[in-house]
Every structure is written in C-alpha cells, then in structure tokens.
Amino acid sequence: MKTQINPTVNKWLPARSWKTAFLLWLAGLSGVISLYLTDIPMPSEVIAAGLTKESFKLSTMIGPFLMLGIAVVLGRFLAHKTGLQVQRFGDSASGLKGLLFISGKTALGVGLVLAALYFLLGLLIPDESLAAVKAFERDALHPATALIYGSITEEIVMRWGLFSLVLWITWMFAGRPEKMSNTAAYAAIIGMAVLTMLSHLPTPFQILGDPPAALLVQQALSGTISAAAAGWLCFRHGLESAMVYKFFLVTGALTVLHVG
C-alpha cells in the first residue's frame, strides 16, 4: 500500500518496526503512570476488603496498561497496511512548524465550534446540571493526567490501535486496494467518531442520573466532532499531529474548567 505523506513532514518512523512500537509504548506509558496522580474515590467494597489507597490506584492502572500494549501491537501489524504513519519529532524545523500549524489550526477551529455548541445548548440546560457536569469534569482527572494521558496515551490507543483496526477493516471491505481510498478512510473516521460519541454518553447519566436531552446532545456532538478531527489529522498528517491537536484542545479545556 502506498503511504499518504504530508509534504510538510518528511521524516517518518517505520510503522512495521518493533522499535517504533516500543517507542510508542514508552510514550504511552507516561500517561498510564500519570493516572497515579488522580485521586479516584474508593468503592465501599474495596475499603471493606482492606485494600490500601495506593494499591487501589495501582490496580486502576492495569486496564489502561493492557490497552496500551494491545494498541501498539495492533498498530505494528496494521498501520502500514492502512497508510498511518508517525513522524520523528524534531527531525526538521519545517516539519515541526508544519505539524504545529496544522494541529494548532485544527484545534482552534474545533475549539471554537465546541465553544459555540456548549454556549447554544447550554441555554437549554438548567444551571445546576451545567454546574454538576463542570465540577465532575474539573475533578475527574488531575490536570497533568488529563494532559498527558489525553494527549499521548489515549491517542495511541484510539488512533494507532483502534483506528488502525477500523481502517484495516474498511480497507478489506474495499477490496484491499493499493492505496486507501478517501471513501474508505472517511468511513473509518466516522465510525471512530461514532464509537467516541457512544463512549461519552454514559457520563451525563453517571453525574445526574436523568440528564436533560440537550446535555446528551451536547456531549454526543462534542465527542463526535473532536474525534472526527483527530482521525482526519492522524490519517492525513500522522499520529503525532493528532497528539499535538489533542494537547492544544485539552489545554484549552483545562483553562476553561480551572480558570474560566
């Protein structure tokens, strides 16, 4: 399969290399470790079992650790078949500038869309519901965890792992063409966006029990839009562009939550 390479980025790590998989695993491990910073409430049954807070925190890191390992292995075997790539950071000034420009521009555009969406739909949501959601989002993760895990680990799991798998499935259905067609790629991007939307929907129920419809629409659309942008960036410009985009997006969200 021919690789879709962004002309502004000219240095790529070999997607089929176990060295690349190991480097991505190390990068993602930083996010898994950062989960230790988050103060997760201990369920009553865990307290009754006599598990210490430190042991409970370590146990919550097992799932993300395993998902990260599965993701890098999936990417090792499937990314090169679907055209996904990852750049060597800092290999060229022009490549780095191009990376920051396209990722920053996308994050700014998505951020403005999400801000307008939150404002318009927020007019239909009771103030106490909005306050409860904001408090949950502010306290759910330590800011450093949200930034490191959300920007690096989550993108490796979702884009390099799961997105590679979804792209590979659409490539198979398309008849294994030499080059991934835009139609098949966009189908995979939309599919991933829908999966992200579905993963966001339980949160309002967890917070409020019976959330207003406008809040469900707000959560669904925000998850879909942000994931679709990340998928497009990953496919067109490489995994690292999705990471940088997510870094900018999470930074903006954290600023609003903790300063706004």
pLDDT digits (tens, 9 = 90+) for 121-166: 989 999 999 899 888 888 888 999 999 999 999 999 999 999 999 9
pLDDT digits (tens, 9 = 90+) for 54-106: 888 898 999 999 999 999 999 999 998 888 888 765 454 456 788 889 999 99
Q: Does 7 fall in a domain?
A: no
Query: CA 20 to CA 24: how far, in whole Å?
Result: 6
Q: Does 37 fall in a domain?
A: yes
Domain that holds residue 150: 12-258
Q: How many helices (H) and strands (E) does the chain have?
A: 13, 2
Q: Does 147 fall in a domain?
A: yes
Q: Does 142 fall in a domain?
A: yes
Domain total in the chain: 1
Rg of the Cα atoms in the chain = 19
**Percent helix, strand and coil across the chain, each to the nearest 5:** 75, 0, 20
Q: Does 251 fall in a domain?
A: yes
Q: Does 49 fall in a domain?
A: yes
Query: CA 239 to CA 235: how far, in whole Å?
Result: 8
